[in-house]
Amino acid sequence: MLGALISFAGSWNPSYWGDEAASVMSAERSLPSLFQMLGHVDAVHGTYYLFLHFWIEAFGTSELATRLPSALAVGLATMATAVLARRLFTARVAVVAALVFAVLPRVTFMGAEARSTAMATACAVWLTVLLVQTLRMSASPSTSIRMRRGLWAAYAALGALGIYVFLYLVLLIPIHALAVWLWAPNEHRRALWRSWLKATGSGILLAAPVVVFGLAQHEQISFIGTRPQPTLLTALVSQWFDSAPVALAAWALITVAVAVVIFSRHPLRGFERPVRPALVVMLAWIVVPTAALLIGTFLVAPMYIQRYLSFCTPAVAIVIAVGIVCLGQRWLQAGALLLLVALVAPDYLSQRTSFAKDGGSDWRQTAAVVAANAHPGDAVIFDDSTRPSRLPRLALRLYPAAFTGLQDVTLATSFQQTAGLWDVTVPLASVTEKVASTRTAWILENVGSTEAVAATDVHELENLGFVPALTETVNRTTIIEMTR
């Protein structure tokens, strides 16, 4: 409950941004339109879009409603992090790990986001909990063959579901392979290894459709290549911690955990069982997926985005918690935890400001300005010169009530009638007859965009007898009222 509430609090404050627009608009489609779209683009998000389709039918499309499932998923992931840490380490590590997980900047970000990342993280950590339980029960002579098969079948099913929710969860496979090798008792290792391989293979076969479609649609992430190349600093700081102070504290505690657990030659006080194999797997969970995406980006094709590694946050939280518990004295442990909470507080608060998403998305505020000033029958023209995820016309799609009665003069085909994510539009110059009887037109432009600099639409309307009457910049969107 605490994990869910921390992510949920204030999640409704920021305006939607481009990725959330893709989620909401896809979920608003009819089912035939949605499946048609998934056959061409975003098949890897199809499971989440299908879930959100039915969710918004019940609860609507407000930011609060669509982001709530992610907050609930963070709550489930927080619980699973505690369960996993308790089974691998101690009750104290479990409590600290759950608290650390709940406040990590990457976690509080994905918990306030209408995307599938939080659900994928919950799947990843519960799948790991299930692996631990399955290994222990399968190695026990008191467990029936039917129960063992049932556990491995559940593991295969949950693994497949995780891949349907987020394709990159396949990067957990080498982590779980290492876990089976290190955690399985020696006398049962060969049998458990075979069982795990069969379950993993079955899970991959169940998830084959999304894997095939995802690979066929790999061009949809080609936009990553237009972004600055990731660096080691990106992975160390921005990937999970947002800011340098939080990253320094977190990596210091991770270093403590490694130094004490990995290199200590004496039994660790306060730990109930040998914890070195468990910590090695958690460290692999942190390092291997990150290294795979970074190496793949440099050697194969661009594939790294910081939020793609969100599913590693449970391992990050557990290793930090081990580092805190290794400090020994309770006042030191409490002090380290409080320091971490104090350091993440500014990041948490900044994530819940009005323009927190995507460097300043302001579509809700822009829609409010239009609603307060425009009148039925007015024309509205949108800047189409920016990348699709920042198009001002997404304000119309996400906050349609503010544009009721306005003429969308450059719309050619609504997104719901296309196989792509977005509307199809035409230049204003080709549809000037649509504003022939209009006395007022509203232009929405991105600050600094090609259209804004060239003022093409403004000049086109001026040639038709319009003059600027009002110009207002919200945050990164400029609203221009043109009247005859």
pLDDT in tens, 1-10: 999 999 999 9
- CA neighbours closer than 13 Å in the CB half-sphere of residue 62: 8
DSSP letter at 267 equals: P
**Statement: residue 414 has pLDDT above 70:** yes
Matching residue, tokens 């958690």: 282
Task: Indicate left, alpha or beta for 231 from its phi (over 0: left) and psi (-120 to 50: alpha).
Answer: beta
Distance of CA 68 to the CA centre of its chain: 13
Q: Which two tokens stand for residue 307?
A: 């939020």
Q: Which helix (H) or strand (E) holds 479?
A: strand 477-483
pLDDT interval class at 225 (50, 70, 90): low
**Statement: residue 221 has pLDDT above 80:** no
Domain residue ranges in the chain:
2-350, 362-483
Q: Which of 22, 20, 21 is nearest to 41 (CA)?
A: 22
Q: Which two tokens stand for residue 478?
A: 């400029």
**Statement: residue 266 has pLDDT above 80:** no
DSSP letter at 234 equals: I
pLDDT digits (tens, 9 = 90+) for 268-301: 555 656 788 999 999 999 999 999 999 998 888 8
The pLDDT assigned to 270 comes to 55
Return the minimum-mean-pLDDT range out of 12-16, 136-140, 252-256. 136-140
b/e per residue 146-185 (b: at least 16 CB within 10 A): eebeebbeebbbbbbbbbbbbbbbbbbbebbebbbeebbe
pLDDT interval class at 222 (50, 70, 90): low
Q: Is 228 exposed, middle or buried (0-12, 13-18, 19+ CB in 10 A)?
A: exposed
The pLDDT assigned to 261 comes to 86
**Statement: residue 215 has pLDDT above 80:** yes
Average pLDDT (121-131) is 98
Q: What sections of 89-144 are H helices per DSSP?
A: 91-103, 105-110, 117-138
Average pLDDT (372-378) is 96
**Statement: residue 200 has pLDDT above 90:** yes
**Statement: residue 232 has pLDDT above 80:** yes
Give the 3-state secondary structure of residue 35.
helix
Q: Which of 344, 288, 309 is nearest to 239 (CA)?
A: 309
Distance of CA 191 to the CA centre of its chain: 37
Pick the more confident residue, 220 or 344. Answer: 344
Q: Taking a C-beta distance cutoff of 8 angstroms, is the pair 340, 246 a contact?
A: yes
Residue 379's DSSP bridge partners are: 407, 441
Q: What are phi and psi of 239, to 5 degrees?
A: -60, -45
Cα–Cα distance measured from residue 4 to residue 79, given in angstroms and rounded to the nearest whole number: 10
Q: Taking a C-beta distance cutoff of 8 angstroms, is the pair 384, 391 a contact?
A: yes
The pLDDT assigned to 231 comes to 84
Q: Taking a C-beta distance cutoff of 8 angstroms, is the pair 175, 284 a contact?
A: yes
Average pLDDT (97-103) is 98
**Statement: residue 267 has pLDDT above 70:** no
The pLDDT assigned to 265 comes to 60
Q: Which of 328, 347, 285 is nearest to 310 (CA)?
A: 285
Cα–Cα distance measured from residue 56 to residue 236, given in angstroms and rounded to the nearest whole number: 36
Q: Which of 9, 3, 4 is nearest to 352 (CA)?
A: 9
DSSP letter at 259 equals: I
The pLDDT assigned to 271 comes to 62
* Average pLDDT along the chain: 94
The pLDDT assigned to 273 comes to 60
Return the minimum-mean-pLDDT range out of 66-80, 136-150, 413-427. 136-150
Q: Which two tokens stand for residue 63?
A: 């930011």
**Statement: residue 209 has pLDDT above 80:** yes
- CA neighbours closer than 13 Å in the CB half-sphere of residue 481: 16
**Statement: residue 347 has pLDDT above 70:** yes
Radius of gyration of the chain (CA): 25
The pLDDT assigned to 230 comes to 86
* 440-446 and 379-382 beta bridge pairing: parallel
Return the minimum-mean-pLDDT range out of 166-170, 328-332, 373-377, 398-402. 328-332
- State which amino acid sits at residue 273: R
325: CB partners within 8 A, 6+ apart:
89, 90, 92, 93, 96, 270, 333
pLDDT interval class at 140 (50, 70, 90): confident
- CA neighbours closer than 13 Å in the CB half-sphere of residue 435: 28
pLDDT digits (tens, 9 = 90+) for 439-461: 999 999 999 999 999 999 999 99
- State which amino acid sits at residue 297: T
370: CB partners within 8 A, 6+ apart:
380, 395, 402, 403, 406, 442, 444, 479
DSSP letter at 44 equals: G
**DSSP secondary structure of 29-49:** S-HHHHHHHHTTS-GGGHHHH
Q: Taking a C-beta distance cutoff of 8 angstroms, is the pair 406, 369 a contact?
A: no
Q: Which two tokens stand for residue 187?
A: 């006398």
